Every structure is written in structure tokens, then in C-alpha cells.
Chain A
């Protein structure tokens, strides 16, 4: 399977714990995106990388969130001191270029539940 891969698919954590998610994009794609999707809503943009550089971060990405893409390949999204409001689906996407017609390819997401 050469699509976007996300791990884990599901994560249940206690409030206050740290969690880390991983995204493996399509190998030749230089752009990688993170989105958050809460129940009943569409995905909301969090951040994106061009190669290893993080070029934009949404105001939704509080100080407790950090994303990396150290070698321009896979990416990690870490949430520190999780809160119940962090419960959501975290989607990763990748693309080859950037333009009005750019198709982003999405992974199946990581569903986070904070208890």
C-alpha cells in the first residue's frame, strides 16, 4: 500500500498524559499537512510542512502541540498534557505540489480519546 499511513489508528489516554502520532506520507510528496476533525465537523487545518520546514501553523495549534518532519519524510504530532478538548480525529495528508487544483491524499486518521 503506497498511500498515506497513520499510526496508531486509535489512542485512548488519560488527561494530562502526552501522546505522539505518526504520519508516513506518499514517498514522493514534499508537502505534508495535519488537520483536526471534531465530531460532526469538517477537518480544520493545523499545520503544514514543505520538506522538513514547517511553514504555517494555525492558531488552533496551541503551545501544547508540536509537529516535526525531521528528514522531510515522516512526521510526528505530539500533544503534551492532553485535555478532554483534544479528543478528535487527527488527519494527515500529503501532496506533491501546491496550487488551486492540488489534490491532497489523506490517511485514515488517528482517533484520540482523552478520558
Chain B
């Protein structure tokens, strides 16, 4: 089955430290897209970063970077210089060609707590 696995239900990090949130995916497609979303307690899913399956370089967006290891089918999110406002749920997601890339398949999420 095509799926996303996030093995860390919860993570703690000290403010200003870096943290890595793990994500592995399972697909037989050659073309796919990988996303990370942040969900604060307000409920809205906030897009953070995208990595395409054909992208040779790891994606970066400000303090967020994606450690993409295609052979291992992993797409870990690295947050540098953590801030208190980074405390939230983080979801890894994938788009596949099936159905014209219209569905996002999400993992179960990781709850990040940033401590002062």
C-alpha cells in the first residue's frame, strides 16, 4: 500500500537547537511529491516545504530543510534554531500520479514541543 510513516509520536527540543522529524514513504511510482505541513492548535494545516522525486538537491525554506534520501525512501524535516512558536503537530504527506496527483496522503504526525 502507498503510505507515509512517521515513527515519532512526540519530540522535545530546546529552544535554539535543531531537530529532525522522521518520515519514510512507500510508493512504486517514479514521479511523486513530498510535503511537510505544520498544524498548530488552531487546526489549520500550514505548508512548510516541498520535495519532488526528481529533485537532486534537498529543499530548503528558511529554517526548514528536507533531508531527502530517495533510495531509502525517507524525507526527514530538519528545523534549525527552534523557536517556541514551532511547537505544533507536523505532518509528512505525499502526492502520487494515481488520480492525477489530487490526493495528499498523510502520515500520523509528530508532536513537537519546544522548551525554553
Determine whether A111 belongs to the interface, using a CB cutoff of 8 Å to chain B: yes
- Min CB distance, A86 to chain B, in Å? 17
Contacts between the two chains (Cβ within 8 Å), count = 74
Whether the Cβ atoms of B43 and A100 lie closer than 8 Å is no
Q: How far is the CA of A20 from the CA of B107 in the complex (A)?
A: 27
Whether the Cβ atoms of B102 and A55 lie closer than 8 Å is yes
**Contact residues in A for B102 (Cβ distance below 8 Å):** 31, 33, 48, 55-56, 98
Q: How far is the CA of A87 from the CA of B107 in the complex (A)?
A: 20
Whether the Cβ atoms of A42 and B106 lie closer than 8 Å is yes
- Given A43-B104, A48-B103, A56-B102, A100 and B53 contact (CB-CB distance below 8 Å): yes
**Contact residues in A for B21 (Cβ distance below 8 Å):** none
Whether the Cβ atoms of B95 and A42 lie closer than 8 Å is no
Supply 7 further A-B pairs (C-beta < 8 A) apart from A42-B91, A106-B44, A108-B42.
Answer: A42-B107, A45-B103, A45-B105, A98-B102, A100-B33, A100-B95, A104-B45
Q: Which residues of B contact A (CB under 8 A)?
A: 4, 31-33, 35, 37, 42-47, 50, 52-53, 91, 93, 95, 97, 99-109
Q: Which residues of A contact B (CB under 8 A)?
A: 31, 33, 35, 40-45, 48, 55-56, 89, 91, 93, 98-109, 111
